[in-house]
Chains A and B, each alone.
Chain A
Amino acid sequence: MTNTPATSSAVLLKIEERVATLTINRPDARNAMSVEILDAMHDAVDEIKDSASSVLVITGAGRAFCAGMDLKAVLIELSGDAGMGERLLTRLAELTLKIRGLPQVTVASVNGAAVGGGCGLTCVCDVTISHSDAKLGFPEVDLGICPAVIAPWVVKKLGPGVARRTMLMGGIMSGEQAYEIGLVDQLAPNRDALESLTNNVAQRLASGGPKALSATKRLLNELDGSFDETLVLKGAKLSASVLATPEAQAALAARMKR
């Protein structure tokens, strides 16, 4: 049985039996997170929470998974709104907490670039699947900004040492390198093979007892401090304060012109 709930075109939500799929649908902007995208993701996640699904797959429409924050929105000279950065980052922080708190097992199916906040989104998920040619990473420091908002999730995913190295060095890595450091849990040999691998993993996960899955996930969340909202929201404020500095704004403006 397929159920396609009424959602905005910013995200596509499909619920088939016990697997829900949320597709970020802004392919012309590499699925960068705008206010509209984040609002639509919040609504979709609320809907999934109350569904009968056991597994949620998050993926991106087109070539990218998610290019991170919408740079046009956070560049003050373009948006003319100095508060936009903090609003977007807080909304992202709230979304990550909401996804982590879902009773469903969450799977990030990284079809293409997963950058900055987009890569952070993969760390919030319980399982990350990608392919060798995907590009993942946290290049925030390359732009003079700080990935604080997603850092708590990256630390939980990679462990403190590897997270430290990955976020302080910046840059982008291949799916293969991401698999090597534990950012990706399952790796398809190429993009074409990702969908089938994702389906297999999702079906296997969905074959578990729903109560057992959600109880296990809840315990893991309790053990690793995933319910610490204060930390994630404080991270959003720190990211926003660094983002608003003249140096960061200048670096972002230079990146936009490239």
Chain B
Amino acid sequence: MIETRDESGVLIIELARADKRNAMLPEMLELLHDAITSNTDALAIAILGQGKTFCAGFDLKACANDPSGDTMRALLTGLSKCVRTLRQHPAPVVLGVHGAAVAGGCALLGGADIVVADRHAKLGYPVVKIGVSPAVSSPFMLASMRPGIVRTRLLDTDLIDGEHAYKLGMVHELCDAPSDVHDRAVEIAESIASKPGSGCRETKRWLNEICAVSDEQANAGLNASLELTGNDEERERLAALWGES
């Protein structure tokens, strides 16, 4: 579900569940977390998705099949842990979004320092549609985007394209074609890894201090999402989406 490789100091992490549009499962997020934390010497990290899409968010079929809400809870907790870990990693993180980054997939932007996307990629958080609160992502989004934009993006279920996301500052660099995204993201990561001394690491550490997300804030966001999990609204909407109960 996760593949990693090291290329001259750049840790490349690929979401590897292409047949499910890299939809997240709890064990996938565990593997992602392990990949990030076990490579603290990396000079830069590039996170990419295999197949046609960066990441479609949580595997909603798995959530619908677990009416107890445990799968959803594990996903929310795992996502929060991964984003925190990406932010805290000493090396800058480049995210390459091709095709789509939806819901939990888009939440990974909160852990990235640099986001590359293709012009037509679809990005957004349409999770209130299925009775889930994106509160888990809000502290990280507020630390990387303008507050007015975060508010709209988390509450509005519309997906926006890469070009629009670039204008809003969610995406920092655009590629014309989805097939260009991986190469460009890795190129940026390599360029960062090749810079001398500790300038990049110290700059990231300092930016994290200036735009800090405290554990209290991160936990408050996670808990707000967890509190809703397993309620009737979520169960009904998920079941309606998958035609199951």
Closest to A149 in B: B206
Interface residue range, chain A: 20 to 34
Is B214 interfacial (CB-CB < 8 Å)?
Answer: no
Tell me which residues from 151 to 197 in chain A have a Cβ below 8 Å from any Cβ of chain B: 151-152, 155, 159-165, 167-170, 181
Whether A145 sits at the interface, judged by CB under 8 Å, is yes
- The minimal Cβ–Cβ distance linking A6 to chain B, given in whole angstroms, is 39
A38 part of interface (Cβ distance < 8 Å): no
Tell me if B172 and A141 are in contact (CB < 8 A): no
Q: Is B207 an interface residue (CB 8 A)?
A: yes
Q: Is the CB of B145 within 8 A of A161?
A: yes
B114 touches which of A141, A144, A165, A181 (Cβ 8 Å): A165
Q: Secondary structure at chain A's binding surface: helix, strand, loop or mixed?
A: helix
User: B121: shortest Cβ distance to chain A, in Å?
Assistant: 17
- Cross-chain contact of A161 among B169, B192, B204 (Cβ < 8 A): B169
Cβ-based interface call for B146 (8 A): yes
Provided the pairs A161-B169, A161-B170 are in contact, do residues A145 and B197 lie with their beta carbons within 8 angstroms? yes
Q: Residue A76 at the B interface, CB < 8 A?
A: no
The answer to whether the Cβ of A142 comes within 8 Å of any Cβ in the partner chain is: yes
By a CB distance below 8 angstroms, the chain A residues around B170 are 161
Do A161 and B172 touch (CB < 8 A)?
Answer: yes
Asked if residues B211 and A155 are in contact (CB atoms below 8 Å), the reply is yes
Q: In the complex the two chains form, is A144's CB within 8 Å of B197's CB?
A: yes
Query: What separation, in Å, do the CA atoms of A125 and B143 have in the docked complex?
Result: 23
Given A161-B145, A169-B114, A245:B203 Cβ within 8 A: no
| Bound-complex Cα distance A167 to B203 (A) | 8
Taken together as a complex, chains A and B put the C-alpha atoms of A247 and B196 apart, in Å, by: 7
- Are the C-beta atoms of B202 and A160 separated by less than 8 Å? no
Asked if residues A151 and B203 are in contact (CB atoms below 8 Å), the reply is: yes
B210 touches which one: A141, A152, A251 (CB < 8 A)? A152
Contacts of B199 in A (CB 8 A): 140-146, 242, 248
Closest Cβ of chain A: how far from B75's Cβ, in Å? 24
Interchain CB contact under 8 A, B192 and A169: yes
Complex: A168 Cα to B144 Cα, angstroms: 14
| A25 to B195 alpha-carbon distance, docked (Å) | 32
Pull 5 A–B residue pairs with CB atoms less than 8 Å apart, ordered by A. Answer: A144-B195, A160-B207, A167-B203, A242-B198, A242-B199
